[in-house]
A and B are shown apart, each in its own frame.
Chain A
Amino acid sequence: MGLRNASEDLSSEMEVDAFRRLFPLRYLERHLAESIRPDGRPLVKARETSIFLGAVASANGSALVKIGSTTMLTAIKMEVMTPSLESPDEGCLAIDFHMPPICSPIVRPGRPAEASPVVSKQLSDTISSSKMIDLKELSLVSGKAAWMAYLDIYCLDADGALFDAALLSAVAALSHLQIPAVAVNDDGKIVLVSDEDGQKQAQEPVNKEKRKLTLRSIPFSLTCILHKNYILADPTAEEESIMETHVTIVLDTSGQLISLYKPGGSVLAYTSAVQDCVALTRQRVKELKSFLDKENSAMEIE
């Protein structure tokens, strides 16, 4: 709604608004011709991004991420499970992406949004194929007990680039994750060991060493829209609804390509265009990594 605040007189503002609603594509193309986007950004610039760690006090790890007005809240809760027979030394990470009705006018209660299972699947595929987490680190007692990490991502405000924001918040929450110290009690159940618990030294924590996950290569992503000859990075919901060709590229911190989605769309993605997108993503990854590192070091100082 960038233009609404512009200091134009009322009548022309009405016209702009009407034009925008009636001819969204022409409205956008007029902007693109001037190399600017309706919200005032250059074509290849991503929106302002912020990360806030530890947003949910009751969770073991959490993060609140905003990209423009797209907001994601992620929380990880650790629970104990019996590992499966095939992989007795591995824990499990369950990723769920939710779009509650508050996030968008399209979602209504009782009818889950189409996008949410799609993004859930993409996220778990991406995180598993990036080999970011070693599931062995989630093991507690071989064959007996392992961590089940429930990672729930809630979209609080949907304004485009949902996957990017969701991935960033998932990654941020994982980097913030503090695994509680636990011990095995007499019944073979896993119980918490509180830090200031002086008298209960009899129970030795089983996971003294593994209180934080080692994140090996962190994946970051950037979604671009290809329209005619233009490439638009980090689209808003409005832009996504007008133009159909989306390309999402996931790179890890070492610059390796982890995944690339291009779900349909009318514009053929030429190799050159895709390479341009990869280049944009590479820049974006650096930016996001520095954001995340800054947040994490700030947390440590506290």
Chain B
Amino acid sequence: MAGKSGATPATYSPSLTTSDKKKKPPLFNEDWVRPDGRAFQQCRPAFFRTGAVNAASGSAYAEFGNTKVIVSVFGPRESKKAMMYSDIGRLNCNVSFTTFATPVRGQGSDHKEYSAMLHKALEGAIILETFPKTTVDVFALVLESSGSELPVIISCASLALADAGIMMYDLVASVSVSCFSKNLVIDPISEEENNQDGSLMITCMPSRYEITQLTVTGEWSTPKINEGMQLCLDACGKLAKIMRSCLKEAASDSQE
């Protein structure tokens, strides 16, 4: 049906009548309330489920508010032929978005930057020595995005790895905070991320109490970094508990 006119015509999505110019950037003063009504240090409700994709060796689905992610793990399987011999396993990560994930249609279907970050966050947790010469593929698809996609992808991927039976030192949990002048806001949604002064994302292995990945943008003083890190680490610990219980549930289900 689309074939009627050769080239796809230029389209736009209609915006609200109340013109955007009137909407001032939100004032982040004391009585500012987050758009979804959460407290500053309250995460969105997290939902995890393993085994979302049967075709994969392991998979997981994660839902944080309206951010929805599926991660599939394939392998360990044969490395691509061009690869040289390696006595430890390889990890290959890819993150992509659906065309309807973002408010404006079709932005960034393949996310190189996220793929690289996911790789860096996971490689320290996986015991690569257990599958020499082979590759584990971790593919993530963001179904819907409304902020903090990368932390959700990372946590979800570690769950999918666990589901696939890949040996890991620990689960990997990831949480980010946004900084607004003086306030720290945990697990920001897109609207907050677009206006933030700075961001801090921590990926850690909670049981080992080790940070595998840390990214900070914006201007931070040292005490602020301390505060932000502590906040994230605590949240990671709680998140890991939820992830663990999800795994336990799946294990007990399959035993029945």
| Interface positions of A (Cβ within 8 A of B) | 1, 56-59, 62, 69, 71, 73, 75, 77-82, 84, 86-87, 90, 92-96, 98, 100-105, 108-110, 124, 127-128, 135, 148, 150, 152, 154, 156-159, 180, 182-183, 185, 189-194, 197, 200, 203, 237
Total count of chain B residues near the partner, CB < 8 A? 43
- A159 and B66: CB pair below 8 A? no
> In the complex, what residues of A have CB within 8 A of residue B9's CB?
81-82, 84, 92, 148
Q: Are B15 and A58 in contact (CB under 8 A)?
A: no
Contact across chains for A237 and B105 when beta carbons are under 8 A apart? no
Cα distance A242–B146 in the bound complex, in angstroms: 42
Taking a contact as CB atoms under 8 Å apart, the answer to whether B17 and A194 are in contact is: yes
For this complex, 11 residue pairs linking A to B, each with C-beta atoms less than 8 Å apart, are A57-B66, A69-B55, A84-B9, A100-B139, A102-B141, A103-B53, A109-B96, A150-B99, A150-B100, A191-B17, A194-B18
Residues of B within 8 Å of A157, CB to CB, are 52-55
Interface residues of B in 7-26 (CB under 8 A from A): 8-18
Beta-carbon contact of B10 and A81 below 8 Å: yes
Most buried by A among B1, B94, B139: B1
A190 to B105, CA, bound (A): 17
Per CB-CB distance, the 5 closest pairs between chain A and chain B, nearest first, are A102-B72, A79-B11, A69-B54, A94-B2, A109-B94
CB neighbors of A among B27-55 (8 A): 52-55
B74 and A100 contact, CB distance less than 8 A: no
Rounded to whole angstroms, the CA-CA distance of A237 and B18 in the bound complex is: 50
User: Do the beta carbons of A105 and B100 come within 8 Å of each other?
Assistant: no
Is B1 touching A92 in the complex (CB atoms < 8 A)? yes
Question: Which B residues lie within 8 Å of A59 (CB)?
Answer: 100
Tell me, yes or no, whether B211 is within 8 Å of chain A by CB: no
Whether the pair B16, A95 counts as a contact (CB closer than 8 A) is: no
Contact: B141 with A79, CB < 8 Å? no
Bound: A194/B19 CA distance, A: 12
**Chain A residue contacts of B18, Cβ below 8 A:** 194, 197, 200
- Binary contact track B136-169/A, C-beta < 8 Å → 1, others 0: 0101110110100000000000000000000000
A80: contacting residue among B1, B5, B13, B55, CB under 8 A: B13
Q: Looking across the interface, which residue of chain A has its beta carbon closest to that of B61?
A: A156
Nearest chain A residue, comparing its CB with the CB of B99: A152
Residue of B nearest to A85 (CB): B5
Across-interface contacts of A200 in B (CB, < 8 A): 17-18
Taken together as a complex, chains A and B put the C-alpha atoms of A182 and B11 apart, in Å, by 15
A58 to B103 CA separation, bound complex (whole angstroms)? 7
Asked if A101 and B2 sit within 8 Å, CB to CB, the answer is no
B73 to chain A: closest residue by CB: A102
Please tell me if the beta carbons of B56 and A102 are within 8 angstroms of each other in the complex. Answer: yes
Q: Are B100 and A152 in contact (CB under 8 A)?
A: yes
Question: Cβ of B54: which chain A residues have Cβ within 8 Å of it?
Answer: 1, 69, 157, 159
| Closest chain B CB from A289 CB (angstroms) | 22
Specify which chain A residues have a CB less than 8 angstroms from the CB of B141 in the assembled complex.
100-102, 154, 156
Contact code string B92-130 (vs A, CB < 8 Å = 1, else 0): 001010111001010000100000000000000000000
Chain B residues positioned under 8 Å from A182 (CB to CB):
14
Q: How far is the CB of A2 from chain B (nearest CB, A)?
A: 12
Say how far B76's CB is from chain A's closest CB, in angstroms: 12
